[in-house]
Chain A
Amino acid sequence: MSSMLVLAIILVIGIVAFVIARQRAASHNDGKVKPHSRAHYHGWWAFLLGVLPAVLFLAVWSIGASVYLNSHLHSQMPADTGVASEPLAVSLTKSLANGLRKLDAQQVAALPATFAELQPLLNAKGVALATDTQDYMIPIAAEANRMTDRLGLMGAIATIALALAGAFYGISQVQPRARARNNVERLMLWGLLGASTIAILTTIGIVLSMLFQTLNFFNRVPPLQFFFGTVWDPRFAAAGAGASEGQFGLIPLLAGTLYIALVALLVAVPIGLMSAVYMAEYAAPKVRAAVKPALELLAGIPTIVYGIFALVTLGPFLRDLSAALAGGTSFIQAQSILTAGLVMGVMLIPVVSSLSDDIITAVPRAMRDGSLGLGATRSETIKRVILPAALPGIVGAILLTASRAIGETMIVVLAAGVAARLTLNPFEAMTTITVKIVNQLTGDLEFNSPQTLVAFALGITLFALTLVMNIVALYIVRKYREQYE
């Protein structure tokens, strides 16, 4: 019995329990005893008692069954598996078992002994299996299927029995003074708490998943070579060859990332800050109401669109422009640090301006009035009073922006190029950490090679880098906000 069907049955039991319990509770309400909870709370309590334990049991049972089946399969494997490794043999057996599911009952009853005979049968059903599936796997797979069915049936019966028992217990609990509402609300509170821990689980998931793969990577490539290596040459062609595993130096990628982020900040910070200042201090309310949403449009455009603009329009334009300026040969490459940085900078303008807008408007009115009252012009007030007062907050905002720039992917994938080199010339191409993560993981590669694992090492570096910047920035911004509240 499939677990979907079991779930549906449980749900039906729960709904029936809900209806009966509510009915009973309503009929108790005869005016003699004041009921503690309203009728539908009794219904919900019966529903939860019926459904929750059963679902939990089903989940535990399914996990337990698959673990048991796995260990059973491992124990059944002969000493000489005939394929590269034992885990591979187990997974072949599993896919064989899945394939056998497609056959008719009679075919399963009279399974051929060799895979050579079995394959045409399976192919007729549209099942394609690896050719190194071995003969001895056939009985094991058939036995595994029977075992899965048996375990599944046992689990389903136990689950449904549990649901029925819970529902009956819930219905029998219906009494005028029963505290059904409190029970339901306590469970709801647990549900709410559970939902809020998802954030923590995500962070743990991110860190653990990347940490495991990174340690795996460091087993093959020493950390020192990764963090301080100046050559990036992963050698796709030689993947798995052993002797020449390529070099994985982080330095050129990190340099490219920081260089492009720096160019982007050089564009975004002055423009963003000046527009924030103008909006907050000069613009008439009408202008502000029209221009602010327009600038925020820039923030709503997906980064892939910026990337494409850099690739298709700006890059070629700069190349041709430089060719015209230099008379023939172009000194700006179509994919260059300048192109990527410029476009990324524009993308970051609304980020800088909306963050600094909040910070500038948070500077107390009294400071502004004091300065103006002493005869300073508006720009002097801004330059000598407001900006110094807002400085910590603005630094925080710039840090947040920088972390966005470092983690930005699509613009650099399309506009920065893939050549990992160290250069100071902004007209040449350089590559970034994010570009290499995408490069390493979008090919057809075996998962356990250093060529793919390095992506996780790069990922965790990126994560750590942005995490530190974010925490510092959030800390500064919060500190600053407290100062004026």
Chain B
Amino acid sequence: MTDVTMDTVATATPPARRDIGLKRRYAAERRFRLYGVLAILVGLAFLVVMLLSILTKGYTSFWQTTVSLPITFDEKVIDPDNKRATDPNVLITANYPALAQKALAEKLGIDAKNKPMMTRLKGFLSDGSRVQLRDVVVSDPAVIGTTRNVDILVAANLDSAFKGQIDLSVPEDRRKVSDQQVEWMNKLKAEGAMAERFNTGLFTFGASSRPETSGLGVAIIGSFYMMVIVLLLALPIGVAASIYLEEFAKKSRFTDLIEVNINNLAAVPSIVFGLLGLAVFVNFLGMPRSASFVGGLVLTLMTLPTIIIATRAALAAVPPSIRSAALGLGASKMQMVFQHILPLAAPGILTGTIIGLARALGETAPLLLIGMVAFVANYPATPFDPATALPVQIYMWANEAERAFVERMSGAIIILLVFLMAMNITAIVLRRRFERRW
């Protein structure tokens, strides 16, 4: 029996396989997979290109070119009438650029009587030297009459030239630095007086019309105020609202309304919150324009839905057995929530809050509408003073024409991204460390 069948199988030609187009279908399968990989690669490639383009444009902004000059704090220039004991304004309004100018001329070996050369020397140093030297003198008036080495900022164009960002091979009249300036620059560089130093000004200066003396100081303080306000308002309100909705609310038309509302608010364009802030907080309630307090309120309203949604998910993830156990041991419902559920849900709530804060930190559009696009040179002492925010400062620098502002802007983006990255990593670490799977 077995033999026979074996025989027939062996001798009969194998039946032709029904053509189900396997080759074609497998090719389609491979193509489909390839599309998937391509899609992911396109997304990642864009991410890499974008970050690289910002990094390459921006990393130079963390260094700023300065000239180390032996400044003679000449009493005849600072205080010609010797009135500084009685009139403190003398030290503020003195002609400090002249001191820097003189020191530079000496350094370059230019005769002070050579007027045409001295005029060409103007524009080599930044006008920020006025503030730099003033700060030295005001903080220590005893320096008058002595000589001290000070690192003076050079003008933005020379900074660019020093960093090699200006093409020096084009004809002189088509670039912003003259051949004479380049010659001086090379001389100072060879002597080691002119060098790039870490740009602390980028973090401390306020708004300025000159790139080399403008910085993120005001913006960082403004953003900090806003983040504190958002944290203080959105976290308690968001947690309270979520507790009510998740633990106490009975299903009714009212709670349905609240839920639909929250879901919608989470998807409302951010600029609409700016319109709300302008119409209600600034115009109706008369709060000050450009103040970080108003910005904080607007961002709070914007962040609330995010925090509520995250908190509700965290609360819902706590297993019902914990609730039953607490209630069974005689806790009231409020005690059950605040002493048992909330501590267990805390990591999830914190993660959601940090992510919400990170979103608020990068938000620009609503802040434009409440007037935070302002030229603020002084640090805001309170949240009610005019201030800007990090992303708004980036936007303002994007509208400037000068090349050096683009560099600063890219540097500011790097700083903003570092902040955001730090917040997101904190959130991820928190989630990894403390999240419990039930």
Point out residues on A near B: beta carbons under 8 Å. 181, 185, 188-189, 191-200, 202-203, 205-206, 209-210, 212-213, 270-275, 277-279, 282, 291, 293-295, 297-298, 300-309, 311-313, 346, 349-350, 353, 377-380, 382-383, 400, 403-404, 406-410, 413-414, 434, 437-438, 441-442, 447, 455-456, 459, 462-463, 466-467, 470-471, 474
Interface residues of B in 2-45 (CB under 8 A from A): 25-26, 28-29, 31-33, 35-40, 42-44
**Contact of A456 with B269 at beta-carbon distance under 8 Å, contacts A282-B36, A300-B424 already known:** no
Complex: how many Å from CA A198 to CA B305? Answer: 10
Within the complex, the shortest CB–CB distance from B246 to chain A, in Å, comes to: 10
Is the beta-carbon distance between A196 and B32 smaller than 8 angstroms?
no
Residues of chain A within 8 A of B377, CB atoms compared: none
Is the beta-carbon distance between B25 and A380 smaller than 8 angstroms?
yes
Complex: how many Å from CA A379 to CA B263? Answer: 34
Complex: how many Å from CA A301 to CA B265? Answer: 21
- Whether B271 is near chain A, meaning CB under 8 Å from some CB there, is yes
**Contact of A379 with B272 at beta-carbon distance under 8 Å, contacts A200-B257, A302-B391 already known:** no
Complex: how many Å from CA A181 to CA B334? Answer: 10
Is the beta-carbon distance between B264 and A203 smaller than 8 angstroms?
yes
28 CB contacts below 8 A, A to B, read A192-B248, A195-B244, A196-B240, A196-B258, A198-B237, A198-B304, A202-B261, A206-B273, A213-B279, A272-B39, A275-B39, A278-B33, A294-B47, A300-B424, A301-B50, A302-B361, A302-B416, A302-B420, A304-B394, A407-B271, A407-B272, A410-B364, A413-B395, A437-B369, A442-B368, A463-B272, A467-B268, A470-B267
Among A193, A272, A308: residue with most chain B CB under 10 A: A308
Convert B152-188 into 0s and 1s, putting 1 for each residue whose CB lies closer than 8 angstroms to a CB of A.
0000000000000000000000000000000000000
Interface residues of B in 358-385 (CB under 8 A from A): 358, 361-365, 368-369, 371, 373
Residues of chain A within 8 A of B287, CB atoms compared: none
Residues of chain A within 8 A of B334, CB atoms compared: 185, 188-189
Residues of chain B within 8 A of A400, CB atoms compared: 267
Is the beta-carbon distance between A202 and B276 smaller than 8 angstroms?
yes
Point out residues on B near A: beta carbons under 8 Å. 25-26, 28-29, 31-33, 35-40, 42-44, 46-47, 50, 53-54, 57, 236-238, 240-245, 248-249, 257-258, 260-265, 267-273, 275-276, 278-280, 283-284, 301, 304-305, 308, 332-334, 358, 361-365, 368-369, 371, 373, 391, 394-395, 398, 406, 409-410, 413, 416-417, 420, 424, 428
Is the beta-carbon distance between B269 and A466 smaller than 8 angstroms?
yes
Within the complex, the shortest CB–CB distance from B391 to chain A, in Å, comes to: 5
Residues of chain A within 8 A of B57, CB atoms compared: 312
Residues of chain A within 8 A of B263, CB atoms compared: 470, 474
Is the beta-carbon distance between A209 and B275 smaller than 8 angstroms?
yes
Known: A192-B243, A195-B236, A305-B50. 5 other contacts (CB 8 A): A199-B258, A302-B364, A303-B362, A304-B364, A308-B398
Residues of chain B within 8 A of A188, CB atoms compared: 334
Q: Which residue of B lies closest to A410 (CB)?
A: B364
Residues of chain A within 8 A of B416, CB atoms compared: 302, 305
Q: Which residue of B lies closest to A297 (CB)?
A: B47
Complex: how many Å from CA A442 to CA B289? Answer: 12
Residues of chain A within 8 A of B409, CB atoms compared: 308
Is the beta-carbon distance between B272 and A291 smaller than 8 angstroms?
no
Is the beta-carbon distance between B37 and A303 smaller than 8 angstroms?
no
Complex: how many Å from CA A195 to CA B233? Answer: 11
Residues of chain B within 8 A of A346, CB atoms compared: 43, 46
**Contact of A410 with B365 at beta-carbon distance under 8 Å, contacts A378-B29, A382-B32 already known:** yes
Within the complex, the shortest CB–CB distance from A242 to chain B, in Å, comes to: 23
**Contact of A271 with B413 at beta-carbon distance under 8 Å, contacts A203-B264, A305-B54, A456-B279 already known:** no
Is the beta-carbon distance between B39 and A274 smaller than 8 angstroms?
yes
**Contact of A278 with B40 at beta-carbon distance under 8 Å, contacts A200-B261, A377-B28 already known:** yes
Is the beta-carbon distance between A466 and B268 smaller than 8 angstroms?
yes
Is the beta-carbon distance between A438 and B43 smaller than 8 angstroms?
no
Is the beta-carbon distance between B304 and A409 smaller than 8 angstroms?
no
Q: Which residue of A lies closest to B57 (CB)?
A: A312
Complex: how many Å from CA A282 to CA B265? Answer: 35
**Contact of A282 with B267 at beta-carbon distance under 8 Å, contacts A196-B249, A199-B308, A300-B424 already known:** no
Is the beta-carbon distance between B279 and A210 smaller than 8 angstroms?
yes
Complex: how many Å from CA A156 to CA B114? Answer: 73
Residues of chain A within 8 A of B260, CB atoms compared: 471, 474
**Contact of A197 with B258 at beta-carbon distance under 8 Å, contacts A309-B53, A410-B395 already known:** yes
**Contact of A442 with B264 at beta-carbon distance under 8 Å, contacts A209-B284, A377-B28 already known:** no
Within the complex, the shortest CB–CB distance from B272 to chain A, in Å, comes to: 5
Residues of chain A within 8 A of B241, CB atoms compared: 192, 195-196, 198-199
Is the beta-carbon distance between A467 and B44 smaller than 8 angstroms?
no
Complex: how many Å from CA A274 to CA B243? Answer: 38
Residues of chain A within 8 A of B240, CB atoms compared: 191-192, 194-196
**Contact of A275 with B43 at beta-carbon distance under 8 Å, contacts A203-B265, A300-B420, A463-B272 already known:** yes
Residues of chain A within 8 A of B46, CB atoms compared: 298, 346
Residues of chain B within 8 A of A414, CB atoms compared: 395, 398
Complex: how many Å from CA A383 to CA B369? Answer: 46
Within the complex, the shortest CB–CB distance from B404 to chain A, in Å, comes to: 14
Partner of A200, one of B249, B258, B275: B258
Residues of chain A within 8 A of B47, CB atoms compared: 294-295, 297-298
Q: Which residue of A lies closest to B37 (CB)?
A: A278
For the complex of A and B, list the 3 residue pairs with the smallest distance between their C-beta atoms, beginning with the closest: A407-B269, A302-B362, A278-B36
Residues of chain B within 8 A of A302, CB atoms compared: 361-364, 391, 416, 420
Within the complex, the shortest CB–CB distance from B236 to chain A, in Å, comes to: 8
Complex: how many Å from CA A365 to CA B36? Answer: 21
Is the beta-carbon distance between A462 and B43 smaller than 8 angstroms?
no
Residues of chain A within 8 A of B248, CB atoms compared: 189, 192-193
**Contact of A462 with B271 at beta-carbon distance under 8 Å, contacts A181-B332, A282-B33, A304-B364 already known:** yes
Is the beta-carbon distance between A471 and B35 smaller than 8 angstroms?
no
Residues of chain A within 8 A of B267, CB atoms compared: 400, 403-404, 466, 470
Partner of A309, one of B26, B32, B54, B362: B54
Complex: how many Å from CA A197 to CA B240? Answer: 11
Within the complex, the shortest CB–CB distance from B332 to chain A, in Å, comes to: 6
**Contact of A308 with B44 at beta-carbon distance under 8 Å, contacts A198-B304, A274-B36, A379-B33 already known:** no
Within the complex, the shortest CB–CB distance from A321 to chain B, in Å, comes to: 14
Complex: how many Å from CA A203 to CA B259? Answer: 12
Within the complex, the shortest CB–CB distance from B132 to chain A, in Å, comes to: 28
Q: Which residue of B lies closest to A350 (CB)?
A: B43
